[in-house]
Chain A
Amino acid sequence: MTTENKTGEVIISVRGLTKHFKGGDVQALCGVDTDVHRGEVLVVIGPSGSGKSTFLRCLNLLEMPTDGTITFEGVDITDPKVNINIHRQKMGMVFQHFNLFPHMTVLKNMTIAPVTLLKKSKEEAEKKAMGLLERVNLADRANAYPNQLSGGQKQRIAIVRALCMEPQVMLFDEPTSALDPEMVGEVLDVMKELARSGMTMVCVTHEMGFAREVGDRVLFFDEGKIVEEGTPREIFSDPKEQRTKDFLNKVL
């Protein structure tokens, strides 16, 4: 499975990615190099403050890298001449705190971007949205407002909202960290189904079970660097680096 995906074309290529935060002495990222292949599920793990979230947020330039390049579908998106909004349409993102739009119904949340940005008709966008809602068993909540939903429901909506734009890659920023424990499962199930359907995914997560089950490749971050990378089996069963071992001992 892994080798098969490794041969898939490179969709995101990261070279020398560096990020300093204003006023801070610490470097959030110091020279990260990696490639994301089409169809691959890349799981990013590491202690808090290791730069894994910053790494993910740099991929769609929500954080502006201080240095280095990010090439998405052959275009260097860190080039200031590039219109990042066009490329972000093809990168879905799911946040820790869901960030649904509270003043819109679930359906409006899902259709506003396709209608406004992709110039889809309202009917077409709503049809697609309803189809996706059925996939996550939330079709009956289409006209609810986000505040009427549970955390798990919100996050499932957030995932399908991103899917409405038909992205080439999905970025997950600790999607289960803000959830009550009993709701983690339903969100992970949606993510697993998405992974099986062949979606390219980059997931920052603390869910080691998820990483082991659906991850094709695991990156272990610490102090702004990739300390170790490999298949889930290599990382979890046979970690080479002492820092990886320490981390896994704490979380497993």
Chain B
Amino acid sequence: MTIFEQWWQPIEQMISNKQPLTFFQTIYKELYMNAISDGRWKLYLDGLWVTLKVSFWAIVFGTLLGMILAVLRLPDVTEYRYRGSNPLKKAATALLRFFSWFAKFYIDVIRGTPLLLQVLIINFGIFGTIRIDKVIIGVIACALNSAAYVAEIIRGGIMSVDHGQMEAGRSMGFSYIQTMRHIILPQAMKSALPSLCNEFIALIKETSILSYIALTELTKAGDYIRSRTYSAFTPYIISGLLYLGMTLILTRLIGKMERRLRASDH
């Protein structure tokens, strides 16, 4: 018998005798029922792990896709005209223009429709007949959604980098893509970091929408426990505290990164 059960037994006695509980006894009762008995704490941890997995991969893929979308939306691309007569390069330019148009279209559509709707469409529409891990569906839905926001954040970051930086890079012989990679993007990411942090926090919280497609992440775990214990507050508050823990840790990590990147400022 664990110490938690030893503490629980007198309270259980009082409840069955219909004796009133003190404030602290009530709190312990809530905690015991919603987090300790039947190993329910494992459900939160499982949910936390799923939320972490989905958030992490959605942030990674969302940021990568967002970077590509951001570059496609730059004036350098939208205003590019190929002057030569090489048919291959002409076709490539036309393709680039199409992608650029598509990036704008994509960002407009994703930002203009609810995430829940996108999740439902991906789950029931696109993967409706395919058996696939819900975690993967969650990552895909959240990454595709986040990419649209990240793209606009990074585009702003890129546009804030002095145009002379691109000229200096190109004048040394770097190609456009090399200059972007080595010179522009590192600076753009630095100025975009605070807004990106915001977006990542929003993304972590929004993964709770995935409970709608029966992915047992943190919100769903809390909800499941509520359905067993009929406590309306405690399971949700425990889930909420775990979300808060994740976002606070992320905020600290990005704060640290910002300070490191500022090393070149003084």
Contact = CB atoms under 8 A, between A and B. Distances in A.
- Which residue of B84, B171, B264 has the most chain A CB atoms within 10 A of its CB atom? B171
B168 A95 contact: yes
A162 B173 CA distance: 11
Contacts of A86: 173
A8 interface: no
B171 A91 contact: yes
Contact of A113 (B162, B174, B190): B174
B164 A97 contact: yes
A116 B182 contact: yes
B264 A99 contact: no
A147 B174 contact: no
Size band of the A side of the interface?
20 to 34
A99 B173 contact: no
A65 to B, nearest CB: 11
Contacts, number: 80
A23 B167 CA distance: 22
Size band of the B side of the interface?
20 to 34
B173 A88 contact: yes
A85 B264 CA distance: 29
A80 B84 CA distance: 5
A62 interface: yes
Contact of B172 (A97, A103, A165): A165
B171 to A, nearest CB: 4
Interface string A101-118: 111110000001100110
B29 interface: no
A60 B187 contact: no
Nearest to B164: A99
Contacts of A91: 171
A250 interface: no
A103 B185 CA distance: 11
Nearest to A117: B173
A81 to B, nearest CB: 7
A100 B264 CA distance: 12
B84 A103 contact: no
A102 B187 contact: yes
Nearest to B261: A103
Contacts of A117: 172-174
Given A80-B86, A99-B167, A113 B266 contact: no
B231 interface: no
B68 interface: no
B90 to A, nearest CB: 11
A182 B83 CA distance: 46
B191 to A, nearest CB: 11
A64 B187 CA distance: 26
Contacts of A89: 172-173
Nearest to A97: B164
Given A85-B174, A147-B266, A101 B183 contact: yes
Contact of A112 (B85, B182, B187, B266): B182
B92 to A, nearest CB: 13
A85 B175 contact: yes
Interface in B231-266: 261, 263-266
Nearest to A60: B171
B160 interface: no
Contact of B178 (A64, A116, A162, A165): A116
B232 to A, nearest CB: 51
B172 A113 contact: yes
Nearest to B189: A103
B198 interface: no
Given A80-B83, A103-B264, A62 B170 contact: yes
A93 interface: yes
A147 B164 CA distance: 15
A22 to B, nearest CB: 9
A81 B83 CA distance: 10
Interface of A: 60, 62, 64, 80-81, 85-89, 91-93, 95, 97, 99-105, 112-113, 116-117, 145-148, 161-162, 165, 171
Closest 9 CB pairs of A and B: A80-B84, A89-B173, A99-B168, A93-B171, A99-B164, A145-B264, A88-B173, A113-B172, A85-B173
Given A87-B173, A95-B168, 17 more contacts: A85-B170, A85-B174, A88-B172, A89-B173, A93-B168, A93-B172, A95-B171, A97-B162, A101-B187, A102-B264, A113-B173, A113-B174, A117-B174, A145-B264, A147-B264, A147-B265, A165-B173
7 contacts: A92-B172, A101-B168, A102-B187, A103-B261, A112-B182, A117-B173, A145-B264
